[in-house]
Amino acid sequence: MKIGIIGSGSFALALSNILCENNHEVLLYSKNESTKEEINHFHTHKKYLGETTFNKNIKCSCQLESVVNYSSTILLCIPSIYIKDTLIEINQYIKGKVDIINGIKGLDFEDKLTIQQVIRKYIDFNKINSITSLLGPGFAKEIINHNLTLVCACSSSLEAAKKVQLLFSNDYFRVYTSLDVIGAELYSSLKNAIAIASGICLGLGYNENTKAALITRGLKEMREIGKLFNAKDDTFYGLTGMGDLILTCNSKNSRNFSCGYQIGLEDSSENFLKYNTTTVEGLNTIKLVKYIIDEYKLNLPILNSLYLVIYEGVKPSIVIKELMLRPLKDED
């Protein structure tokens, strides 16, 4: 099968590597000419993956129209902040119907939607055959190095989910299916915010007790939002919920965790927001979560405090003390 992949970052390359090893043909899209040349001639992307090499059959193009028309399956692996404009452009090039696979773990702040909802808004209905999200705990470099990884194909169509399951599954990458799209997309995004908080705690000098407490209470806040949107409990306890959270809260390989760690070290978000040049999906998620908290009058102290730290300039050290000195209560 021929698959066109929109994006040329680490996760796009990891998924491309799987597909090529599963005997599929892949064409990546990159806006960057030098990235295209590096992928095509050296089979590396040193900016994201260092000296790691990937399958030589992976090809890259800077022509979006060519990639879109390359196959009947399009895989999206770009930062969520670019999704709207990219979809509007893609929509112009689609001929016939396509299967769309979403590999983005984020939410759209502008439209207040999950990625599948954004896809349905900006791609004409008569051009979509199916939409499936491929989500779960998996660092790109580890996937390329064949570390055993479990993820989930999430779609409102079981047939579509199973199609993606078969497309990607092999002896080191196992794909489960789920029909709880809203839960999977919400939890996969919310965990990025909690991972920033975990990094902040480590940067401030706190250790394992603090991290365990944060992850546990952070899970509760994630579930409160999930329940609001009728997400299923099985999803909360599964790969796209608890599984993804555990991974991103415990490793500097996570951009969200590393973002939080830097903020914690400096006890301020100012420099990170000013000088950071990498995509940190949790930053955008925090803004949308704040909107949800205010709109539905939710009591989510960790997520609300993250907004204060990131976007209102409050020192993390002060926020943590205030969180610990809140009125005592039952664990609920």
Name the one residue in this structure whose structure tokens are 């400096």: 266
Return the half-sphere exposure (C-beta side, CA atoms, 13 A cut-off) of residue 18: 30
Name the one residue in this structure whose structure tokens are 């399009």: 74
Among 22, 146, 2, 139, residue whose Cα is nearest residue 75: 2
d(Cα 82, Cα 211) in Å, to the nearest integer?
32
d(Cα 316, Cα 181) in Å, to the nearest integer?
33
Name the one residue in this structure whose structure tokens are 């100012």: 270
Q: What is the pLDDT of residue 249?
A: 95
Q: What is the pLDDT of residue 128?
A: 97
Q: What is the pLDDT of residue 137?
A: 97
d(Cα 109, Cα 281) in Å, to the nearest integer?
11
Among 199, 194, 263, residue whose Cα is nearest residue 224: 194
Q: Count other Cβ atoms within 10 Å, centred on residue 332.
A: 4
**Tokens found for residue 84:** 């709207």
Among 297, 313, 203, residue whose Cα is nearest residue 258: 203
Among 41, 93, 86, 85, residue whose Cα is nearest residue 67: 93
d(Cα 310, Cα 306) in Å, to the nearest integer?
6
List the beta strands (DSSP E) in the chain: 2-6, 25-29, 59-61, 73-76, 98-102, 107-108, 113-114, 128-135, 149-154, 173-178
Among 138, 132, 130, residue whose Cα is nearest residue 115: 132
Q: Count other Cβ atoms within 10 Å, centred on residue 73.
A: 22
For residue 249, the SS3 value is coil
**Tokens found for residue 183:** 């839960």
Q: What is the pLDDT of residue 132?
A: 98
Name the one residue in this structure whose structure tokens are 């995509």: 279
Among 109, 153, 156, residue whose Cα is nearest residue 134: 153
d(Cα 265, Cα 169) in Å, to the nearest integer?
40
The tens place of each residue's pLDDT in the chain, 332 residues long, gives: 999 999 999 999 999 999 999 999 999 999 999 999 999 999 999 988 999 999 999 999 999 999 999 888 999 999 999 999 999 999 999 999 999 999 999 999 888 999 999 999 999 999 999 999 999 999 999 999 999 999 999 999 999 999 999 999 999 999 999 999 999 999 999 999 999 999 999 999 999 999 999 999 999 999 999 999 999 999 999 999 999 999 999 998 899 999 999 999 999 999 999 999 888 999 999 999 999 999 999 999 999 999 999 999 999 999 999 999 999 999 98
Task: Enter the DSSP assignment of 61.
Answer: E
Residues identified as active-site: 191
Q: What is the pLDDT of residue 277?
A: 87
Q: What is the pLDDT of residue 123?
A: 97
Spatial CB neighbours of 274, under 8 Å, sequence gap ≥ 6: none
**Single pTM value for the model:** 0.94
